[in-house]
A and B are shown apart, each in its own frame.
Chain A
Amino acid sequence: MATIDEMIAALARTRDNAVNDLQRLKEKGTKIVGAYCLFAPYELIAASGAVPVSLCGTSEEPIAHAEKHLPRNLCPLIKSSYGYAVTGTCPYFFYSDLIVGETTCDGKKKMFELLERIAPVHVMRLPQSNNRPGDTAFWKQEIILLKKRLEREFGVIITDQALTEEIRLRNGQRSLCRELYGLSRLDPPPLSGSDLHRVLHGSGFAFDRAHHSAQIRALIDALREARERGERSAPAGRPRILVTGCPVGGATEKIIRIIEESGGTIVCYENCGGAKDREFPVDELIDPWDALTQKYVRLACSCMSPNDARCELLSRLIDEYAVHGVIDVVLQACHTYSIETQRIRELVQKQKGKSYLSIETDYSQADEGQLRTRISAFMEMLH
């Protein structure tokens, strides 16, 4: 019987094993589709028989190479993603038969034009909002265009039945992850924010879904049992922190580390790797194409204007997770998240009566001292 730490370590290793797994899949003739963003409809890609995989874009290393073609003053996520692609250092990119991108921001949109010179890229166009007549119809058309592209590239027909089945499977995975991170509603939470991040991050690379689901289920059960025995929890009495904003991972894991070292407990991730997707299953009771369209057009991303969905989600999560403070992470030059800090600050402070800190960072480790001062001061304020 594995210990909880071993279970967490095994789940965190999912990403390390992914390269070998992909190679094996590739040898068997399975198609691989690389994606960067939550807007890439996982279920649709999977329904084509291909395996969706998250591409690299969270390390500083390839940025210098990317800057040969891209401006310096650009979001590090875009530069890193492009840098990985041009240097051939992202194994998942290497194995991908098709890359799916989205027009989530001007930087990405234009970067994909350059990326198309290296690999086949299908860019999905997003509506600017999701609350106007026509937004949903426009996005449905984009979903259908992706369907056709996948069918053409891979010589398959994507049936309603296959899509319905993938929706069911993906919803199951979402629900399990939701159950896992939902444990952090407990006070103190049974697993640390850094462990939770490692597990959630690994889940993007789980190609054997049944096995991965079983692992998550076992971890949830073990955490529950340990809790009942009065064992295993983060230290009590620490400020409960919700992390929101730009995606956090790789180089920006420094933020998670500094929050924990400064005496905070991360109880919830609202961002792309956390609740933003998993809180909202695809409706299984309506037409699968309409259901898929609605699910993805409603994602609470700052590229939507207005982005009321993010405020609604944050408001609910702050209550459910009994949050004391919200830390809003903005990657340098990400205009949409940066401008949205004003609205989120007002929501958190005025409507929810909680504390708020926005921090701007990039993929370098040079700002660690400055981040530490801001985050430590925030924790001192919450104590």
Chain B
Amino acid sequence: MYSLGIDIGSVATKSVVYNGAIAASVIIPTGWSPRESSRLALQMALEQCGASRDSLRAIVATGYGRVSADFADRAITEITCHARGAHSLNHEIRTVIDIGGQDSKVIQLDEDGHVADFIMNDKCAAGTGRFLEVMARILGTEVAEFDALASHADPAPISSMCTVFAESEVISLLARGVPREAIARGVLDSIASRAVALLGRLGTRGAIAFTGGLSHSRVLRAIMEEHIGEPLFTSPASQLAGALGGALIGWNRNGSALGDN
């Protein structure tokens, strides 16, 4: 038997098949149709581990597109799923900072991986993956190449928080001849300071996990660690935390609604 968690984010759709361990995982772009991408991510994950649809005990959808996955048995918010997923990746985790495509959040967990408290960013794209994507485009690079560009530069400060204003700010920096490496580093600094501020509002306790698509950026992680003064836990599965959490909740669905592990 298997369970499947599917996390339909604004940028990427992630699916995880679970059978006591991660049996398959898929990350694909969400594109314009969360409905289509969720079906595709389901299919691809099943094929990857050779599981049939009938062998799925439960499908749990999460992420902003959770309502569009009409094949799911349950829709659960990404807060609850990220908490559960991060906790299963490392049982010591008591704080999660997640930076996704269009929002960021800080979650505090209890020792069982249940949400104790959470806070989300303002309802705009500032300091999220979308922000990075826009900046990468202006700098003529890609999100995946951003680290390489920024890693050895001294930051050019970016003071605008709003994505639209920051775009104009970066354009004027480029016009003044500021090196794009420095701007790239400044962009990561700006994202980090925003994330650290959010973390400060809720406070940290225990080990801290960094999840979501932006957790792939080593430079961003290093800047954040410097601000916080503590190491951030990441794993190759960090971007899958939400989907994994969903799969775990589905796996344990015979227990109480959400209170099991």
**A positions within 8 Å CB-CB of B:** 349, 355-356, 360, 367, 369-370, 373-374, 376-377, 380-381, 383
Contacts and interface: CB of A to CB of B under 8 A. Distances in A.
A237 to B, nearest CB: 10
A381 B259 contact: no
Chain B CB within 10 A, most for which of A356, A367, A376:
A376
B120 A374 contact: yes
A241 to B, nearest CB: 16
A380 B77 contact: yes
B70 interface: no
Nearest to A377: B79
A256 to B, nearest CB: 19
A381 B123 contact: no
Contact of B79 (A367, A373, A383): A373
A52 B103 CA distance: 45
B64 A381 contact: no
Contacts of B122: 360
Interface residues of B, number: 18
B118 A373 contact: no
Contact of B116 (A367, A373, A376, A381): A381
B123 A377 contact: no
A72 to B, nearest CB: 14
Contacts of A355: 117
B95 to A, nearest CB: 15
Contact of A377 (B64, B118, B257, B259): B118
A370 B64 CA distance: 8
B123 A367 contact: yes
B76 A380 contact: yes
Interface string B108-119: 000000111110
A383 B120 contact: no
A377 B105 CA distance: 12
A123 to B, nearest CB: 32
B30 interface: no
Nearest to A361: B123
Contacts of B80: 377, 380-381
B77 A377 contact: yes
18 contacts: A355-B117, A360-B122, A370-B103, A373-B64, A373-B79, A373-B120, A374-B120, A376-B77, A377-B78, A377-B79, A377-B80, A380-B76, A380-B79, A380-B258, A381-B115, A381-B116, A383-B258, A383-B259
Interface of B: 64, 76-80, 103, 114-118, 120, 122-123, 257-259
Contacts of A373: 64, 77-79, 120
A338 B146 CA distance: 36
Contacts of B258: 380, 383
A44 to B, nearest CB: 41
Given A369-B64, A373-B64, A374-B120, A381 B114 contact: yes
Contacts of A367: 123
B115 A377 contact: yes
Nearest to A263: B257
A373 B76 CA distance: 9
A210 B103 CA distance: 52
Contacts of A360: 122-123
Chain B CB within 10 A, most for which of A373, A377, A383:
A377
Given A373-B120, A374-B120, 16 more contacts: A370-B103, A370-B123, A373-B64, A373-B78, A376-B77, A377-B78, A377-B80, A377-B115, A380-B76, A380-B77, A381-B79, A381-B114, A381-B116, A381-B117, A383-B258, A383-B259
A348 to B, nearest CB: 11
A357 to B, nearest CB: 8
B130 to A, nearest CB: 14
Contacts of A376: 77
Chain A CB within 10 A, most for which of B77, B79, B80, B257:
B77
B117 A349 contact: yes
Given A367-B123, A373-B78, A380 B259 contact: no
Contacts of B103: 370
Nearest to A357: B118
Contacts of B120: 370, 373-374
- Shortest beta-carbon contacts, A-B, top 7: A377-B79, A377-B77, A381-B115, A380-B80, A376-B77, A370-B123, A373-B77
Chain B CB within 10 A, most for which of A356, A376, A380:
A380
A306 B188 CA distance: 39
Contacts of B79: 373, 377, 380-381
Contacts of A369: 64
Chain B CB within 10 A, most for which of A356, A360, A373:
A373
B104 to A, nearest CB: 12
A376 B80 CA distance: 9
B245 to A, nearest CB: 11
A377 B108 CA distance: 13
A317 to B, nearest CB: 21
A383 B122 CA distance: 25
Nearest to A375: B77
Nearest to A370: B123
Contacts of A381: 79-80, 114-118
